[in-house]
Amino acid sequence: MHDPRRTSDSSDRYPGYDVLTKWSGPSWNEKTREVISRRLAIAPEPTFFTAEEFVTVTAIAARIIPQPAGRPPVPIAALVDRKLNAAIMDGYRVPGMPRDGEAWRVGLKALNAEATAAYGSRFSVLAEPLQDVLLRRAQAGELKAPEWGTLRSDVFFNKRMAHDVVLAYYAHPTAWSEIGWGGPASPRGYVRLDYNERDPWEAAEAKQGDAESARRSNRHVR
């Protein structure tokens, strides 16, 4: 019998909820379990990025989406790496943007060049406040090192780097538990679709001062 790694019930908003309790219930079918198994089994090591690039991506992801202590972290860098290695693309690019993998390589090289020029060290070994300074400057389009070539730093930040990091995080079951999402609606689907309506197999959100009621409900979500 499959025993997937459990996500934590540490979310204050959806206390007691773990999306993986749906594993053997009527909410998910075999195809859903197959897809989620692959995401849970992803190894925290690169197949597309070089080892040096992977360290930089890991540092970037930690600043864009700081993760709480007390639960296994979502392997954001590995998920981005897997996407690029499989050549899974958006199907479109903004003007001046290279293909996804090339854009990442150019952006990482340029960001490390900026870090070295400004602070004497590669991005991944800088103190977190300095990393944040560089990322904010990238987002604002203020980074202009020659390594950027024709790729603008703000375009890379907004349309590629942050885009891929955020999508990778919210593609993982740990993030689903955090936001109270039930995962793919296959085969069960959802019935109550109006505002503030909840199906019994969806997570209950804690109301102010009454987290215990939500916790009791969430223990029975399947």
User: What pLDDT score was predicted for residue 5?
Assistant: 45
Q: Who contacts 92 (Cβ-Cβ below 8 Å, separation ≥6)? A: none
Segment holding 103, helix H or strand E = helix 100-119
Q: How far is CA 116 from the centre of its chain?
A: 27
Confidence of residue 186 (pLDDT cuts 50, 70, 90): confident
CA distances from 222 to 20, 22, 24, 30, 91 (A): 9, 5, 8, 15, 35
Q: Which residue has the higher pLDDT, 145 or 185?
A: 145
Q: What pLDDT is recorded for position 208? A: 78
- What pLDDT was estimated at residue 7? 53
Is the pLDDT assigned to residue 80 strictly greater than 60? yes
Can you tell me the distance from the alpha carbon of 183 to that of 180, in angstroms, rounded to the nearest whole number?
Answer: 9
Section 22-34 average pLDDT: 92
pLDDT-derived band at 1 (thresholds 50, 70, 90) equals very low
Distance from the Cα of residue 111 to its chain's centroid: 20
pLDDT, greater one: 3 or 142: 142
Look up the pTM and report it.
0.89
